[in-house]
Structure formats: C-alpha cells, structure tokens
Structure 1
Amino acid sequence: MEATDETARTVTGDLRPVYQIMRRLNLGGDVASVLDAVAEGAAATVGFAVAAISYLREDATLEIVSVAGSAEAREQLVGTRVPLALMEEELALADEWGSLLFIPAERLADLPTDGWIPVSDTAAPRDEPAPDDPDRWRPEDTLRAPLRSPEGELLGLLSVDLPLDGRRPDAARREQLEMYADLAGIALGNARRAVDLAEQVRLGAAVDAINSEAAASLDAAQVVDRATASIAAALRSDWVRVRVVGASALPGADHGARFPTGHAETPAPVVAWAAREACDHWAAGTVSLTSVSADGTSLTTHTLHLDAATRRPVAGGAAGWAAGWVSQPLSPRSDIGDEAERAAVLAHLHGNDLSSMLMAPMGAGTDCFGYVVLARRDGPGSGGGAGASAGGGAGGEAGGEAGAGGGSVPGDGPGQGPADGAGSGAETAAAGWTTHEVRAASQVARHLGQAVLNARLLEREHVLVEQLEALDVYKNDLISTVSHELRTPLTSIQGHLELIEDDPAAAPAASFQVVRRNLDRVLSLIDDLLTLKRLTDREATSEAAIVDLHQLAVDAVAAFRLHAQEDGVRLVLQPHGGPLLISGDHDELERVALNLVGNAVKYTPAGGEVSVSVERSERFVRFVCRDTGLGISKPDQEELFTEFFRSTNPEALARPGTGLGLSIVRRIVQRHGGSIRLESELGEGSTFTVRLPLSRL
C-alpha cells in the first residue's frame, strides 16, 4: 500500500515536464518539438516504455508523427498511417476511463495484430506482477487518449504501452496521462489553425487575383481563357478544363479553355456528361470529387456539400460515448452516369494519367453557365496541409509504407496494409483535395459564373440597343414612307377637286375617275397598315376554321379575271380534283391568294400569262402562282418580303403599290405554320409557292 501511495505522489508531483510543455506552447514553439515533449513526458513521467502521437490527416487517416521511449518503435512507426474507419472498429471496443479509452486484451482477439512487436529486453517491466494479479498489464492491452480541439473535434490519438511497473495505470497516472493528452490536443489544434490560416491566406489571395483578372474583361470567352492557367497554379492542379455551356446564341456558349494547352480536346461524351453534372451540382449547391482506382479500372465519386457539413461522432461505444467528432461534408459514393459515360470518363482520366478530379459548377443565381474541372496525377501538388506539416515536423517519414499493426503497439491500428486510404469513409477528401482547396475552387467557379453573367448582360444590352436603333430607323422609314404614299394621291385629289370647284358643271369625267382611283389607293394603304398592325400584334387572335384552299384559288382568279382581260393578260386556273382542306383564318388566307394573284396580273405585260394551281402531298398543300411577267432581280429578292420595299426595276415602279402586300403575305403564311418560296429571274417571270400544313381537324 505504501509503495502505491509513493508511486502516486511521484507521478502527480513531478510537474516540471508539464510546465516546460506549457511554456513552449505559450512561447509559440514549433509543433514538432511540443509533440515530442508530450510523448516523452507521457512515457517517462507517467511510466510507460513507449508513447506515440498520431495526427488525423485531411484524408481521414491517422499518421504517427512522434514516438518516445523506444528507438526501435520510433524507427518502425513514425510515418505509418491507418484509416480512421479501421481505428474506429478498435475504439468501439474500449472502456471509458475518463477521457481515456482502454481496450482489454481479450476484446482484441478477433482483430489482426500484425503490427510492431517489441523484441528488446528493455520492454520488460521492472517489477513483474503476479500472473493472477487482476491489474496486470497484458501484452495486447491498449490504452489511447483522444486528442481534441476545445470544440471537441478529434485531432489525433496519444497511445501508450508497456507500463514500467507492469500494471494497468491507476487513477493518478490516468489523470496525468489525460493532462498530457490535453497538451497534445492544444498543440495539434494550434498547428491546424496555423496551417489552415496560412492555406486560407494563400488561396484567398489567389482567388482574389483570379477574380480581379476575370472582372477585367467583359467578354465571356476571354474571361475563361485568362483564368485557366491561374486556376491551375493556385490550386496546384496538373490539368484544368473550364467550359461555358448554354444555347449557342449566348455569348461564350460552348467555349472552353484548357491547361496545359497542349493536351488533346476533351471527348464529346465527357463534355456532355460534365455539362449535365455541373448543372445538377449547381442546383444542389454541391461539387463532386472523383478518384481513379490504382489499377485504373474503376471510379469512385462523392458529392461534397460545402455549406452543409455535418459533425459525425467517432467510435461511439456501447455506453454512447464518443472519442470526438469529425466533419463529414461528403455524401455516400454515387455512380457517374450510365455505363458508357463511366467508361468514357475513366478512359479520359486514365489516358491522361490523372488519379483524381474535382468538378465545381459555374453559374450565378439559379442559372448554371458551365464548369471548372481540376485534376491531379498523384494527390495534391505540395503536401496535405496541416497533416503534412505536423508529420514532417516530427522528423518522421510521412507517407511511410509500413503497416500500422496490432493493438499491443502504441499508436498502431487494427491490421492495415499500405496507407492508401482504402475504406476511409465518407469524410475522405478524394485523392488529397483539402477542404480549403475545394472551397477555393467553388468560389472561383462562382466568380467566373458572375463574370460570364456580366458579359452576357452586357451583350444583351448591346443587342437591345441595336434593336432599339433599328426600331427607330424603322419608325422613321415608316413615317416617311406612309407620308409619301399618302401625300401623292391626296395631292392629286386636291388638284382635281380644285378643278371641279372652279366650274362644277364643266368638270371633266376624268377628274372624278382620278379622285376615285386615288381614294382607292389611300384606302388600300390604310387597309394594309391595319392588317400589318394586326399581324404584328402578339395579343391579337385569329379565328381558326376549316378552309378550302382550292376554293380560295377559284375565288382569287375570278376576282382578277376582268382586270386581266382588260390588260391583255391570260389568267389560268389549273384543274384540281376536289377540295384541299386546311386549318386557318379564312380572311387571312384569302388575303394571301388575292395578293399573290393580283401582283402577278399587275406585273405581267400584255400578252403574258398567269397560272394558278393547288397541289397536295402527304402532309402539306401548296398554292402556286406562276407568271411570265417582269421578274425580280437577285438583289431585290433579298428584301422583297420586308415592309414598304418597292422594286428597283423602273418598269415595276411605274405600277402603283404600297410595298406592303408581300410582307403581309409572309406574316400570314408564317402565322399558319407555313412557308413561302420565290423563284424568279429578271425579265423571265416569277413563281411564288406557299406551303401550308394539312388540316388535322
């Protein structure tokens, strides 16, 4: 009893190592030396032959960064890693000793124990307890202390083994071990905050530079081209693709940029998949992480919720305790598209020796404009953030290939081969992409999306300005043309009315004819203007009915037969075997037939012929008006269907007209889902063919 009390006084009384460690922390000592001091204090002061500290890396593996008490253990263990998921299998078997986790040897029987086994004589306890002593330390006993941040986040583990007195530690020694674990947690927390801050500052400056570069241009294609190389440098990527997607009429649509520029174009199936995935991720507020298996035969994809990361408790035991929590931003793995798309993506990545891919959607508001894809060959370009710093500072071989072995060895895990991160769970950042890098990529993509939106808004503004300018020109032309078309007949009417007023009894009949003809011309112009207004009014509706196109042709020929005879023009209606029914507005379609036949008669000299026919195919009917008249030149054909256009042919200009007839015809035909085609040569006549869909009623 006296020996036990003396041991307790010795253990709790020697606080000089604790003071030295706290002093180093307060003075900002480097984390490596602090962790070494913690491990040495846990071994020498608390009374264990070996103590080890492991650090929880960004890729959800625990890496041993400091070992004290045994050179043999240090040589074999420093730098080895074990996935957190496998360590949790072991910790779930533990008893809770305050903040310590103790696993009796008998509970580890079913777990592999292929780790480091002490072989030196120094591992033997100084005072071997009796074999039947219930407090005797067994070779497979495991004692670990979770290292936590002040918020409770799991940062690593402090593990001890081989007590010098051969006994499981009593309450006093446990308390002191907890003290060293708290100090190690503070050291690791400081290290993480320092590295996180440095990485955030670096990436923040890089993101700001990229954003400034993007904002300097108001051309969507230039925004993408300028940003690509900068993104690759800032996020330490071996391969970058930035592409703007959307309707081809939009500025920058389907424009892509790549780094390095010498790489081949991305295959079309991969581009199509990426565009679809990007829009899905934009709608969900996520990014995706994809890694290629070591043998290049399969893909693993996770979805990352940057703004909805959850805290997952680590290694909850039967009593409901937890060793701490870790951030879990990733969803369970999901497959890429269908089998063909997976094969295309895998072939593209593997063919370019790429092992991991990060996709961040590019957009603004609710609209997705494209994507930023970054890829690496073998993990991050310059280490793994805070984890790498802590590991390297301890003087170990970060990323060592030795297996982290059984529970009898401090700091090891339950049987794990090379530290490849297999099975490390949803919190894995695929192939070493840190959370800061993922956030930076997402921020860059969002800013590029805003830059693309700004470019599109500017382009839309330019288009609107051009449309307004064109509308202003059209308005001026309309006023000028209508004024001219009204002034000419009204001037003529005014002159003849003056003649009639001077001597009504002697007024010649010709004056009344001129007045009548010019009034008809004015009324025709007004009628055309009202028709054009109605056809261009989006809110105006037409009355659909069953219309017989053949009967319209008959009526149009009858309406102009007398006029044609007076002008010496032969007007012919080709025979047809019955009605041709279509759906449409009777008055509008009648206007089409009358305008085409009337124009043909008007512009055909005496001795010429106008032929009207109707035809039917499986889905359409055709109204064909063919004449042997003046014909239309190629330059005039390009503007023939625009409002107020009159031919440049002097012979055609000599005939009266408003320049609205064919424009009205085109609009009516288009309103009925049809088309109009012109075939003509100057001096050889013209053929107008109107095609309309058959009635479905």
Structure 2
Amino acid sequence: MTSQGPISATDLVRPRRHGWGDVAARTSMAAIAERLRVLGGFESCAIEVLRGDGMLEFVAIATDNPVTRSERDGTGSPLSAMYPALDQGVVTGALRFLRAEDMTREAFENLAPYSVFPDIARHEDRSRWHREDMLIAEVRDDEDRLRGLIYLDNPLDGKRPSAADLVELDRVIRPALHLALVQIEREEFAQRIRISSATRAVVRSASPSADLRELLSTMREEFREPFRAHGIWIATLDSFDGELIIPFAPGSGFDLSYGVRAAMRAAMTDAWARQEVLIIDSERVWGDDVLDEHYRDSLTPHVTERGLREVVLVPVGAGATALGMLAVARDADGPRWTDDESSAALDVAHDLGRAILNAQANEREHAVMDQLREVGDHRRSLIDLVARELQNPLALVAGHLELLDAMELPEDARRSVVPMIRNTARLTSLAQDLALVSRLADSTGAVSEATLDLAELAAEAVEAVRPMAAHRDVRIVQTVVGTCHVHGHPLELSRCIGGLLDNAVKFSHLGGTVEVELRGDDQQVELSVRDHGIGISSTDQGRLFGEFFRSDDPAALSRSGYGLGLTIARQVAVRHGGTITVESARGAGATFRLVVPQAAPESLTTTW
C-alpha cells in the first residue's frame, strides 16, 4: 500500500495530515477497513480518500500493528504518484492486482517515496505473496469519478490470489466498497451543507446598500457558528497595504509587518487562482511554500501563543480576480479543518466576493454622488453670486437709461438708447432667472404655499406674452375644463407657465396658433401648451430641461434665449409635487404638459 516511507527525499509532496473528515467519519471508515480485512483474509487493509486538492489521504488503517496505524494514519500523497501503477496489473471488477515482477521501473520509482512494505522475506516463489505486490480496489461514484483507493496487503495464507480468487473477492467486498463511497459522499455533503447553507444565506441577504465596513462586520459575526470558529476575520486585499491586525477576539490580534502583509497578499492572489486555502498551524504554513519558507516564524507563533489549533486563510474573489481573505481561527480543542470544509468555504468565498464587489460599487456610487452634489452646490453658489452681482449694477444702468429716455435727445442718440434699454432688460431678466434657478435648486427650501386658481394664473401669463405673440402674428387660444385649484407658490407657478408660453410663441411659425388648455379633476390639474412650430428632435428632448441647453438645430438657434426657461419650469413642477413632459417631433410642433395635484376642497378658503 502507498504511504509515507522512511525515505528522506527533497522531492516529496507531503500534504497536511488529517485533512479529511471529522472523528465520526474517520471512525466509520476504520470500521469499514476492519470489515474488509476480515472478509478478504488479509493482514492489513488501508483506505485512502481522494481529497479536493488532488491528494490521497489515509483515513483508516486496519492492522494489528498499532505503530504502523499511528504513523501512517492521516498522511497523504499526490494522486499523480499512483498513475503509473493504476495503468498496470490484472483488473477484476473493482480490483486491480499488480505483481511485483510486472511493475515497471517508473511505477516503482513513483511509489517508493510514499510506500511501506510488509515485513516479508524476499523469495522467488511466484505463487506466494511478495512484499512489493499490490492489490487495490478503486472506489468510484455513479459518474465513474475516482473517490478513493483501498489497499489489501499480505494475505493470511501467504498466497497470491488466483483469477477465481479475485472474482470471489470482488463479489464479497462490493457492499463494503459501497459503504465507503457513501461515507465519503456523506462527509462531503455534510460539510458543504453546514457551511454553505448558513453562510450563503447571510451573504445573499446582505443589503445591497450596505457599505463595505458594515458588510464585513455582519459577515464576521454570522460566520462564526457555521465555521465552528473561535474567531472570524474578513478583509479586502486593499487593506493589506496599510496597518493590518487580524482581530480574532479581544486581545488576540495578529499584528503583521509590512513584509508579511505583502507576502500574504501575493499568497491570497495565487491561492484564488488555484482555488485552494492556506492553513497556519503551530508547525508551518500549508498551501504556500514561499509564505512557509520565508515567514513561518512570523506566523506560526501567533497560533501557539493564542491557544489555537490552526488559522485557515480562504481566498475571496469574483471571477478571476482575488478581492480579499476570509480567516478562520479554531481553538486547540476545536475540530480539525477538513478538505471538504475547504471546498465549501471556497464556494462561499465566491458569493462573498460578489457581495464585496457590490459593496465597493455602492461605495464608489456614493462617492461619485457626493462629488456631484459638491459640484452642484458649488455651481449653484456661483450662479447665485453672479446673479446677485449682476442685478445691482443692471438696476443702476436701467435707471439711468430711463432718465435718458425721458430727456429730449437728438435722434441719433435716441437710436442708441433704445437698444440699450432693450438689452439691459434682457440681461436683467437673465439675472433674475439665474437667481430663481439657484433658489429652486435648493431642495432644503420650503415652498410658500397658497391655494391658487391655475386657470387665472394661466390667463395672466397669456396676457403678459400677448405683445410678443402679436409681434409674430401668433394667436393664443385658452380653454378651461373643470376646477383647477392647486397649492403652490404664485410667483413660481406664474414663471413656470410664462416660460412654457414664451417658448411656444418663440418657436411658432409666423401667423401660427398656440393652444393653452387646462383640465381639472378630483386628483390633479393638467395644463398643456401646444404650438405648431419647428418641433423638437428626439435627441434634443432628452436634454431639453437641462440648464443652459440650446439645440443645435439652426431653426432653433435663430430664436433668442439662454436655455433657462424650461429648467425653471421643471424645477417648479417638481417642487410642487408635479411633473412636466413634452411630446414633439421635428417639424411637427410641441406639446408641453404640466401636471400638479388638485387642492383639497376644504383648503379653498385660502387665496393668494
């Protein structure tokens, strides 16, 4: 049977001992090995289980030699060492019998470092059992995957089995082979269920809005029980760049130097690529030769000094990217970490990795939103400053221009004063709009409400825009259906309606018509302003309500404006709990709809 031999070889691949199964599982396997030894009539029977890391581990050895059992139990070897032997010999059902003289040199050299031979004198009798003979039963699952190997060694009668003996032995041991498979699969299933069901539920129920610190803190507490841990610690790889203390419990942190942190970060990245865990116990670091060779003395004392059995480092990631580490500490009297737990923990690490990505994306989104808010606040402050600084000098200029206009001036001087008055009025209107945009954008400001008749406000706005409409020979028609009472700020709503009308007249064709319609019901009041002018392209509609938006359409650019009217209209609508929408197509006019809540009947005694 293959096992650890007394040979000292630098090329040995020696995995951590007792990596498979808890005490109950190994006890069950020991009973199966003893049953096989008795049924087959052999001096010894050993069972190796193929672990998830590709290593074979002795999980049960039935023999009358207690020294052999204690020395070999829990030891392991790479499956690759068995490959040449598993391609040779006589196959009978699940059994493979390989005689010593038929074993190739390659097979023997692969097996020798991991083998132990029974104490049998060498002889030339081909009918008798030789110390290098191998009788192996393969344990395979329903998908024909190799799950374990069973070795029967040194028959009690001292003879090699004949073909008939192998057929009978295969029949006799079949039930025991099935029991071994059941135990292997049960242990794998039990560990996965214990860890995965509890931890995955926690990970998947994590709030998508939780920040990273909150997420990791929650996981740390919730993972302790399913992992049967003394302490849990979770960190992203970014945290390895700064001071790193692994706080498994109060007063039991691992304070790691920069060199150790850098090495652990590299080890976790490599472990994620290999989908393997690292284990630190009192003797060494398992799973990463570089970390063990250079930093064993920096890591293993922490385990011993804190009374721990081991610390398991599970890489965490998403896709091909390593993101962090899940560290599990177990007490000295706690259960030993098993390979099946590694598989389950890696499954959880994928879910945890996705949760970390979501949390990091959420943090980045919040950071961007904070930056945008800061930019928005700065822009509003700048606009407000410009508006205030413009209004005072413009008022002074306008006042002096009015005085000049009232004087007896030569005709050439009057031709200069008139456009100055007109453009000063435009600049004054711009300054007022800028101030209003800044005030409306302040979400903390309350709306000064009164109960208003929106139809009356619309009628006043129509009258205010009639001079401009008359100049373009545009006819305005207003209709009202139902009651149109709303709660709101009269000046803001008037500016909103005025902006919509101004837009409609401005972009109408000469001699066109603008239709203003108000409809009120028990729930809401709808005001629509429709023109039959140049229309708005679908591309422009998506940006129409943005500050200072001006269309690239040459027909639109020929009309004056600063791109603030519709911005103000949208802000007023939102502040009043309403909406404003547009329906249009290039060359087909446009219809703007303002919808705001209808005022409750009992509030109609208040007017502005």
TM-score (norm 2): 0.50
TM-score (norm 1): 0.44
